[in-house]
Amino acid sequence: MTSKQRSNLKSIAANLSPIAQLGKGGIGENMLRSLSDALEAHELIKINVLTNAEEDAKALGAELAASLKAECVAVIGRKVILYRRSSRKNFEHIVF
Sorted by sequence, the CB contacts under 8 Å of residue 40 that are 6+ apart come out as: 84, 86, 87, 88
Phi, psi of 20 (to 5 degrees): -150, 160
Q: How far is CA 32 from the centre of its chain?
A: 11
Residue 7's φ and ψ, nearest 5 degrees, are: -65, -45
Is residue 90 exposed (0-12), middle (13-18) or buried (19+ Cβ within 10 Å)? exposed
pLDDT at 83 over 90: yes
pLDDT in tens, 23-68: 988 899 999 999 999 999 999 999 999 999 988 999 999 999 999 9
Dist CA 31 CA 33 (whole Å):
5
Tell me if the pTM is above 0.85. yes
Residue 96 has pLDDT above 80, yes or no: no
**What's the confidence (pLDDT) of residue 25?**
83
Q: Which fold has domain 3-83?
A: Translation Initiation Factor IF3 (3.30.110)
CA count, 13 A, side-chain hemisphere, 28: 10
Domain boundaries, given as residue ranges, for the chain: 3-83
- Percent of the chain whose pLDDT exceeds 70: 99
